[in-house]
Every structure is written in structure tokens, then in C-alpha cells.
Structure 1
Amino acid sequence: MTYIPALAHPVAVFDAGLGSFDLVRRLRAAYPTQDIIYLADRASFPYGAKSVPDLLHSVARACQTLVVHGASAIVLASNAPSVTVLDELRPRFGIPIFGITPPIRAGLDLLGEDSFLAIAGARVMVESTALRALISAEAGPDAARVVSV
């Protein structure tokens, strides 16, 4: 196990890869004294071929590791687990866990009324009932203009 020095209420940012490192940069800019733990879960990458239970197991294991290392909150900076397993994950830990989701309403608002919005992502997300529910909730009557691929 890698040694992590003592941190003061660190916030953890967790993703399957390095794509969310921009979030770390933005957190650092907004909160320059905040300790941040960054975890790129390369052992479980890619998420796309996983089932929802497998994804939940992988993400829960990573979150447990972050809690053991003192995370006071976790930002799950990946669309697939945020959409599909975040609600099941939150009650397992005694700290806040935040997720990110595709900006469906904002995307539709930027497009013309005759345009479509495509949400590209891991198969576990784009084929999920959770994404369909999110599209319905965010897009409302415009849900037919949202396509997941």
C-alpha cells in the first residue's frame, strides 16, 4: 500500500481514468488550501462492459479505499457510475458522495428546436434504465430529442 501523508479533511476525486483531472485543477483553483486525493481506478477500467452489479462492486471498493485514506467527501467524476450506481453507493459510506451527470437540459438549450442531443458513454450507462429516467427528468417534453450512443 502506498503511503499517503496526513491530510486535513481531504476531498477525493475518483474516476476510471485521467479525464477528470480538469476537475482537480478547478477544485485547486477554487479552494487552494483544500487537500485533494485523486484516484484513477485503472484496475477496473474500462467500465463499459461491466454489468451494473460489477460496476457497483468496483466503485464501492475504490470508495472504501478512499475512506480508509481519510476522504471527508468523494466526487465520483465519471458519468457511468454516477448515473447507474450512485444512489445505491451513497448509503454505504458515512461521508458525502457526489456524482456528475451529462448536462442534458443545458445541451438541449444550446441547440435549435429541430436538433438532437447525443449522449455518448459506456454501454453500462447508455443502455441503462437510470439514464432513460435521467433523460426524461432533465429533458421533459424534449426527451425524444436525446439519443444515447
Structure 2
Amino acid sequence: MSTPPRHIPSLSALPALVGTQLGHSDWVLVDQARIDAFAAATGDAQWIHVDPARAAIGPFGTTIAHGFLTLSLLPVFMNQAFAIDGLGMGVNYGLNRVRFPAPVPVGSRLRGTVKLLACEPLPQDGLQAVLEVSVEREGGSKPVCVAESVVRFFP
């Protein structure tokens, strides 16, 4: 069942939320079809990702998702975790820090927890936010990805 995103009443309400958790996403399945599609899109067809037979005797006993595949899910996690009423657009401005502390075995379910670390004004009534997204694997003991995403929001 889908959890509705946390609604933030306006862009101007965002700065008051610095230091708080904005919400969790739903669980997202990372199956072999998703891994294969990512490999095809990026040209990264390393056997640890796309060859189940070879990966079965490899270090993880199965294929694992690309770290960048996990990272590419950040917009899904953020959009499911929170919504800003009246937002015109959000623009990915980059990343400050990214780590992949644990692998994502095929068949894993992931979800992101979003925390607002910083928020500062921009020209034209925009805001630049630094969002920490911690991605967990269902049943895992530590995050599979922790990233600081910099997003510019405009009304």
C-alpha cells in the first residue's frame, strides 16, 4: 500500500524544516529486469550485475545492482517522501557526498528516508535545499546508499 507523501504547504515553509526528516518512500523492487535495463542504458554490463550464473559463484552469490542504479532512484524516493504545495519545479543541482555502504542483491526492496539538512534562498524566489537520502534494503543491517542531494526549488 502506498503511503502519501508529506505535504509541505508552500516553498516558503521549507526553511523551517531544516534538521527534520521529511518522510519515507514506498518500497521499490530492484529485480534483474531493472538491473539489465540500467546496464543497457549505461553500457555497464559487468558480470556481477548481468550474469546470474557467473555471479552465483562470485563474492555475493547473486547479481547485485549497480551503485549508480541505486543512486538513480533518489528522485523516486524524494517524490514519494514529500511534496511541496505550489511548487513550479525542482532542479537537480548535484551531489555533495555519496556512499554505498552495502550491496543491493537482486530481488531487494529499497526505500529512502529523506532529511532536510540545509535550505537557503536563491534569486527569483527559489530555494536551494540539501537533502540527505538514506536508502535502506528491507532486512538489511545498514544503508545501501547515503547521499546528499542538492536541489533547487522554484515556485
TM-score (norm 1): 0.26
Higher relative contact order (CA 8 A, sep 6+): 2
Higher share in helix: 1
TM-score (norm 2): 0.25
